[in-house]
Amino acid sequence: MTIRNSTIRAGAAGVTFGSETSGSIRDIDAYGLHVLPGVSNGILFKSAGTRGGTIENIRVHDMDIQGVNTVFSVQFNWNPSYSYATIPAAITSYPDYWKVLTTPVPPARGLPHLRNITISDIKATGARTAFAVDSYKDSPLTHVTFNHFDAEAKVAGSITNAEDWAFTDTNIKAAMAVRWW
């Protein structure tokens, strides 16, 4: 699938992968995007600990990102009040499918995975945060490559539970540094 040559003026992100990942998201090429102030994130990957699936073989390149909250974001515990449904105790009569939707998923099946992502030729200015990246210890984000990534942000941000990330010709101009865990 290809996403190309668009101007994004509002919304959660210039390009978003997820939140529904149970069927996996693969082989996407997104490029030529111009993201304007009013958009929360430049590039956003999101899921929840009950959805499973794999996001892989994604290329995002040739983007101009201006005035977003976060340039690159991975939120694998996205919107918990929405993502982890429960049936209120006061409701005793409900459709059968509610029970299916609220049955807990075993962690081995529920954790989403992200791997083989290439981010290149990105120019971001006026952002609040360059990186807001968080995954699960049992599902680290792997094989992510940044090439020709230039971001100006107030805060560099944080990257948590990541393995085998590579940065080539990458410049982050920020008043505060990035944290790795």
Tens-place pLDDT, residues 105-155: 888 889 999 999 999 999 999 999 999 999 999 999 999 999 999 999 999
Q: pLDDT tier at 180 (50, 70, 90 boundaries)? A: low
- Give the mean pLDDT of the chain: 93
Give dist(CA 2, CA 62) in Å, integer. 13
Give dist(CA 58, CA 17) in Å, integer. 9
pLDDT score for 84: 83
Number of folded domains that form the chain:
1
What lies within 8 Å, CB to CB, of 93 at 6+ separation is none
- Model confidence at 177: pLDDT above 70: no
Q: pLDDT tier at 178 (50, 70, 90 boundaries)? A: low
Domain span at residue 147 reads 2-180
pTM for this model (two decimals): 0.90
pLDDT score for 74: 98
Q: pLDDT tier at 72 (50, 70, 90 boundaries)? A: very high
Give dist(CA 119, CA 63) in Å, integer. 10
pLDDT score for 28: 96
Q: What is the DSSP string of 62-126?
A: EEEEES-SEEEEEETT--HHHHS----TT-----HHHHHHHSPPPHHHH--EEEEEEEEEEEEEE
Q: What CATH number does residue 120 fall under?
A: 2.160.20.10
What lies within 8 Å, CB to CB, of 21 at 6+ separation is 47, 51, 52, 53, 54, 55, 112
User: CA nearest 25: which of 111, 112, 134, 108?
Assistant: 112
